[in-house]
Structure 1
Amino acid sequence: MLDRSVDKTYFQITSRGSSWGVEIRAGLCTFLTVSYILVLNPQILSAAGLPVKETTSSTALVIALTSILSGLLSNTPFILAPSGLNAYLAYSEVLGRGVSLPAALACCLAASAVVLLLTLTRAVTLVMAIVPNTIKLATVVGMGLLLSLIGLKTAGIVVANPETMVALGDLLTVDAALAAGGLALIATLHHNKVSGSILLGMTCTALCSFIIRQNWPTQILALPSLSHFPLDFTYLAELQLGALSAVLAYVLVMIFDIGGAIYGLSNLAGLTGAEGGSIPGSQAVFICASLGSALGAYLGITPLIITAESAVGIKEGGRTGVVSIVVGLCFLVSLFLSPLIQALPAVTTTPVLVLVGAMMMGEAGHVDWTRMTSAIPAFLTIVVQPFTFSIANGIYAGIASSFILYVLTGDMFKSLRGMLDRATEPVESPGEETTATTEDLEQPLISKAVGSMSNVRQFPRVASITDLLKGVIDHGERPIDRTPELLIGNARASALIQNSSFLNRLPPTT
């Protein structure tokens, strides 16, 4: 009776066309696919001085608690975990700018608070609409190049050179061979749609390293080792440009990535369409991501986003929050595996970073390279990230160039003229003709574009920088005489989401 009651009234398993067995199996498959983050995240953050053992436990605990909370509150099969922002914190902020680790983590906490505030005030949709879609797409490509550069540098394949800045390293080293072999293995498994291909490839790479170097781990299981890391808000309190830049980068990536994943994965799972196209539980997902990111900053990890690997569970048939809860429980069990994860060599991350970078490159195909108002901002967003080792710099370069071209090409003035013309057009009603009143003209134009925000209950059909987002059309891609549609959800967007290159490359489970 309890099982049936929970099914019908809370998780809605039957009404969404699933079953308890399917949901649990989907959760297990998703965990196998995304569990590589337990190895990848601590290894990357260790470059910033964070201890691998404690970071492994923190990563597992934060993902577990956040996924369980999200499953209960949002009832969606979306998994929240650290993203490429870990490389931004370690290599751009701490190693690049020389920011102290406590100050960098304080920026993560501040960004989490900002996203939570924007979510509670329902301003997330407006923030997403301000940034052109071209920048969102290009940000993914730039992040892919940056992650690939970090991976190749870790394996010694790319090295610094005082004359040419970078150069090809020694390809005859053990690390280079392991990286190349691991990448070939993971790519082959991925091509053949093997479930958990990334985890299997990383495991094989680690085993080869243990065999060659004879440095086998001496311990596999241990009690979790958790410790909080001090936060230094002096950097933020002084309102230094670097601190504000870092916070803004975290906020934008979180909003665009989470929003796009919600829209794309919800379309994949068939969760859209009800209540005028709204996505059930989307606001709860943003809240859980913000709270989890705040806890993560306290425990020494970077902000969370929805992982694209969530699509694996959806392809397996998962449709409810039970999937997230099962994944969370699996991560709780993994808390006791920190000694084994700590013993893994850093080179095991290289194949994953390069593979993810290659998959992110697919977004470049959705940029309109024939229009300068799209091509230049996209190009700058892409190349500035790896060239300056900073995601934030790439976003700022793209936004600035987009606005400058928007003004210089005259598109802005044409858009304003078109909006003013529409504001003064007669308003026709069925059976009668009327003209716009003074009160109508005084209504803010942004209100006309966004609509009544009070009616937006759960961020319907938002878009973002992942390959799960294809829906927003910015000024370089849409007719300038058309009122901006900030909350979009049309057939074109749905078709692009369903045919997303990243989703199609995710291995279906068997």
Structure 2
Amino acid sequence: MTKKLIQYFQIKEHKTTIQTEVIAGITTFVAMAYILIVNPVILEESGMNYGAVFTATAVAALLATFFMGVWAKLPIALAPGMGLNAFFTYYVVLQLGYTWQFALTAILIEGILFILLSLFDIRESIINKMPATLKKAISAGIGLFIASIGLKNAHIIVADTSNLITLGDLSEPTALLASIGLIVTGIFLVRKVPAALLLGIIATTIIGLPLGVTMLPSSIVSLPPSIAPIFFHFDFTNFFTIDMLLIVFTFLLVDIFDTAGSLIAFAMRADLLDENGNFPHAKKALLCDAVGTTLGACLGTSTVTTFGESAAGMAAGGRTGLTALTTSACFFLALFFSPLILIVPSAATAPALVLVGLFMAVPIKDIPFDDYSEAIPAFLTITMMPFASSIADGIGFGILSYFLLKLIGGAEKRKELNVMIVVVALLFLIKYLFL
């Protein structure tokens, strides 16, 4: 069995081990397990059943990540995405007044369109035609975005009426625990302790017990709630409406560039780009993402997408699909051991996310900051991701500025444009001006 795993996932060729891959998969799961709670909380506000959404979230993540690991053989996990679930609830349902069944129908259409776009290599072309500088900036921007999520989850950074964000109260238990965890995990990394991120999460969780942040569960095992209240609940009565068209287009645009940005960053982090800077595994990865979205809609959850927290597993050494397969197995266990798994507080995973942000930001050193036609788009990409809380908008600002600066930069600069950049820039222009 061990030999078959080594051969199938090309463990030796990727200079890793089964133990490293398994630890990396667990690390990814622990870093993203919050989605099992947060997604049901958000979708419940649209009128959906909390317990059913919990089960749908776990099963959708389980299946999509399994396909990514076994078929695409990549160390990338998928689950219902943050941001898109908020758009689902707060805009489509609560603001426009449509039912959650209508919103799920839009997700289904989006997933089917994604499958077609992936089969015809349109999404793959977007990734491979992205300029090298923007690829590096996307990786760095996602690093800052992930770090900002960690800092906010830890209450180290909090909302502020005058400055938008400010430093939180570091004596508050959650912020204090996260700060301790950051130091502990940093020591593990400096000392080159194997599985430093995972050990940091475990150690921080234990330290949280006397601080009252980590709460022991009353039980360990529980059966997953029924998925029946939301399974295959679609509403096609408003299929041929302008609202449906705009909602599907928005879901498409955001998810395309969220996924493209994440895959570019992960490919760079795991050294999966070829000598031409292309990502040869992009088509399979994108198809897994598209199938995940379609299955997620059928199960009853919002758009399934590539998760940024996959970078935590890569930072722990994950390089093959065995990492994703392990994460998938963890989601399966979560269906039955959710009380035990979910005792890990956000303050314990926050240090890992902050340090993963450091790892993701490494390519910034290779950006040519002496060429302003490259530096300005890169800088906007990097800064807009955490400030706008959106990978897609970071890419949008980067591509739009890249297109405009190259266009007016003279004949030599215009030669660096390609059809993909022009088309994508126009799509983002339409989105920002009219949607």
| TM category, shorter | 0.7 to 0.9
Deviation larger for 154-163 or 255-264: 255-264
* 8 Å CA contact 1:110, 1:247 repeated in 2: no
Per-residue CA deviation, residues 134-181 of structure 1 (Å, 9 max, x unaligned), is 333323333333333333333333233333333222222111101101
SS in 2 for 1:238: helix
Deviation larger for 323-332 or 173-182: 323-332
* 8 Å CA contact 2:143, 2:361 repeated in 1: yes
Alignment correspondent of 1:86: 81
In 1, Cα distance between the equivalents of 2:138 and 2:150? 18
In 2, Cα distance between the equivalents of 1:187 and 1:37? 16
Structure 1 position 290, deviation (Å): 2.0
Per-residue CA deviation, residues 194-213 of structure 1 (Å, 9 max, x unaligned), is 34333332233333333332
SS in 1 for 2:165: strand
* 8 Å CA contact 1:32, 1:196 repeated in 2: no
SS in 2 for 1:383: helix
Alignment correspondent of 1:199: 198
Residues 12-31 of structure 1 aligned to structure 2 (within 5 Å): 13=7, 25=19, 27-31=21-25
Structure 1 position 379, deviation (Å): 1.5
In 2, Cα distance between the equivalents of 1:238 and 1:290? 22
Distance 1:190 1:383, change over 3 A: same
Residues 63-82 of structure 1 aligned to structure 2 (within 5 Å): 63-74=61-72, 76=73, 78-82=75-79
Alignment correspondent of 1:439: none
1:353 is the counterpart of 2:353: yes
* 8 Å CA contact 1:40, 1:349 repeated in 2: no
- Residue type of the alignment partner of 1:86: G
Structure 1 position 63, deviation (Å): 4.0
Alignment correspondent of 1:32: 26
Residues 186-265 of structure 1 aligned to structure 2 (within 5 Å): 186-213=185-212, 215-225=215-225, 227=227, 228=230, 237-238=242-243, 244-258=249-263, 261=266, 265=270
Structure 1 position 220, deviation (Å): 1.4
Residues 197-346 of structure 1 aligned to structure 2 (within 5 Å): 197-213=196-212, 215-225=215-225, 227=227, 228=230, 237-238=242-243, 244-258=249-263, 261=266, 265=270, 267=272, 283-297=283-297, 298-300=299-301, 302-305=303-306, 307-308=310-311, 309=313, 325=325, 328-346=328-346
- Of structures 1 and 2, the larger Rg is shown by 1
Structure 1 position 374, deviation (Å): 0.8
* 8 Å CA contact 1:138, 1:382 repeated in 2: yes
Distance 1:256 1:29, change over 3 A: same
- Residue type of the alignment partner of 1:341: I
In 2, Cα distance between the equivalents of 1:215 and 1:263? 38
SS in 1 for 2:223: coil
In 1, Cα distance between the equivalents of 2:95 and 2:67? 32
Alignment correspondent of 1:398: 398
In 1, Cα distance between the equivalents of 2:281 and 2:143? 29
Residues 112-151 of structure 1 aligned to structure 2 (within 5 Å): 112-151=111-150
In 2, Cα distance between the equivalents of 1:132 and 1:210? 48
Alignment correspondent of 2:429: none
Per-residue CA deviation, residues 238-259 of structure 1 (Å, 9 max, x unaligned), is 1676763442121123234336
Structure 1 position 15, deviation (Å): 11
Structure 2 segments unaligned to the other structure (5+ residues): 423-435
* 8 Å CA contact 2:60, 2:295 repeated in 1: yes
SS in 1 for 2:361: helix
Per-residue CA deviation, residues 345-404 of structure 1 (Å, 9 max, x unaligned), is 333342233222232222322221111111111122222233333333222211111111
- Residue type of the alignment partner of 1:252: F
In 2, Cα distance between the equivalents of 1:92 and 1:218? 34
SS in 1 for 2:170: coil
SS in 2 for 1:115: helix
Structure 1 position 408, deviation (Å): 0.8
In 2, Cα distance between the equivalents of 1:52 and 1:202? 27
* 8 Å CA contact 1:92, 1:390 repeated in 2: no
Per-residue CA deviation, residues 293-336 of structure 1 (Å, 9 max, x unaligned), is 33235443653438343575666xx6xx6665565445433432
Deviation larger for 240-249 or 369-378: 240-249
Deviation larger for 172-181 or 92-101: 92-101
In 2, Cα distance between the equivalents of 1:291 and 1:304? 10
SS in 2 for 1:160: strand
SS in 1 for 2:159: strand
Structure 1 position 18, deviation (Å): 5.3
Structure 1 position 226, deviation (Å): 5.3
1:159 is the counterpart of 2:153: no
In 1, Cα distance between the equivalents of 2:178 and 2:24? 25
SS in 2 for 1:35: helix
- Residue type of the alignment partner of 1:119: S
Deviation larger for 108-117 or 225-234: 225-234
* 8 Å CA contact 1:254, 1:305 repeated in 2: yes
SS in 2 for 1:156: coil
Structure 1 position 55, deviation (Å): 6.1
Q: Matched residues, percent identical?
A: 26
Output the TM-score relative to the length of structure 1.
Answer: 0.63
Distance 1:62 1:119, change over 3 A: same
Output the TM-score relative to the length of structure 2.
Answer: 0.73
SS in 1 for 2:81: helix
In 2, Cα distance between the equivalents of 1:323 and 1:360? 18
Alignment correspondent of 2:389: 389
In 2, Cα distance between the equivalents of 1:252 and 1:385? 12
- Residue type of the alignment partner of 1:33: T
In 2, Cα distance between the equivalents of 1:374 and 1:382? 12
Alignment correspondent of 2:433: none
- Residue type of the alignment partner of 2:25: F
* 8 Å CA contact 2:123, 2:256 repeated in 1: no
In 1, Cα distance between the equivalents of 2:201 and 2:283? 35
In 1, Cα distance between the equivalents of 2:281 and 2:248? 32
Distance 1:153 1:406, change over 3 A: same
* 8 Å CA contact 1:53, 1:225 repeated in 2: yes
* 8 Å CA contact 1:140, 1:361 repeated in 2: yes
